[in-house]
Amino acid sequence: MKILDVTDLSVKSGTGLALVSNVSFSLEPGARLGLIGESGSGKSLTALAIMGLLPTELNVSGSVLLSDGKTASQQILDAPEKVLNQIRGAVVSIVFQEPLTALDPLMKTGKQLAEPLRRWHGLKGATLQAEIFNALDEVRIGNPKRIADSYPYEISGGERQRAAIAMALACKPALLIADEPTTALDVTVQAEVLALLDTVVASRGMSLLFISHDLAVVSRITDSVLVLKDGEVVEAGSLQNILNEPKHPYTRELVSSAKELDAALTISARSGGDHDISNS
């Protein structure tokens, strides 16, 4: 059964401006979809809609069905808060773009990580502490104790984002949404975090919805791509098809600019060379 099934998702502003129009896509268990578009294309709003976290002044219509793969799907739109609280985190969780603002600035990182661990696994005391360190280890943080005892502003951007990923994973969701998770990081750190996401998503068998404006980044971690422009889906397909035979003019622009920028570089793909843009 599908983990995520989005049908005709539309988001309008309070004044009637269409921000997202009739977006439809779905995700099987373990599948990875990249959502590509520039700022204002509606990709982040789509992610928030899936989580049921859209600002209240926006009007949303359509259907978003979420499932953890074992139980029946749940309609997200217009679902009551109590239902959503059970789904958010356990079935789907999200990593945001800027970890500095996404984390509580006045709370130590370890304590913030403890929150989902306590909620979803009922851990307490020493077991909780141990699990916090485990979680930080899993995201390849060098010194878990130092990170856990530090405030977000005291650690580096890469460490912050890894901690945010750990928090998202702590709930053991079936679907992970990553909204531009590497955009705010330094280039060297980007590659590491991307690799981390790759490994972790694979080892847990999660589905991944990866949102980005950067085709090169998306091509390293996803199998299929959805191209958004001005709130509408202009093209969808497997990564191979999009890269080799882009049909929509906008997609062609994206692909050719990505190829130009990376012409001098060889982008190693997850399966070793198949997704080398410069050779396509």
Segment interacting with another protein (CB under 8 A) among 102-110, 136-144, 181-189, 264-272: 102-110
Q: Which of 76, 94, 221, 277 binds another protein (CB under 8 A)?
A: 94
Give yes or no for residue 103 binding another protein (CB under 8 A). Answer: yes
CB of 43 to another protein, least distance (A): 16
93 touching another protein, by CB under 8 A: yes
Which x/- pattern, by CB under 8 A, does the window 31-70 give for another protein? --------------------x-x---x-------------
Does 122 interact with another protein (rule: CB under 8 A)?
no
Q: Which of 12, 29, 151, 278 binds another protein (CB under 8 A)?
A: 151
DSSP string, the chain: --SEEEEEEEEE-TTS-EEEEEEEEEE-TT-EEEEE--TTSSHHHHHHHHHT---TTSEEEEEEEE--SSS--EE-TT--HHHHHHHBTTTEEEE-S-HHHHS-TTS-HHHHHHHHHHHHH---HHHHHHHHHHHHHHTT-S-HHHHHTS-GGGS-HHHHHHHHHHHHHHT--SEEEEESTTTTS-HHHHHHHHHHHHHHHHHHT-EEEEEES-HHHHHHH-SEEEEEETTEEEEEEEHHHHHHS--SHHHHHHHHHHHHHTTTS----TTSSTT-GGG-
Contact status: 85 vs another protein (CB under 8 A): yes
Residue 13 binding another protein, by CB under 8 A = yes
Interface with another protein (CB under 8 A):
13, 15, 17, 51, 53, 57, 81-82, 85-86, 88-90, 93-94, 96, 98, 101-107, 115-116, 119-120, 151, 153, 164, 167-168, 170-171
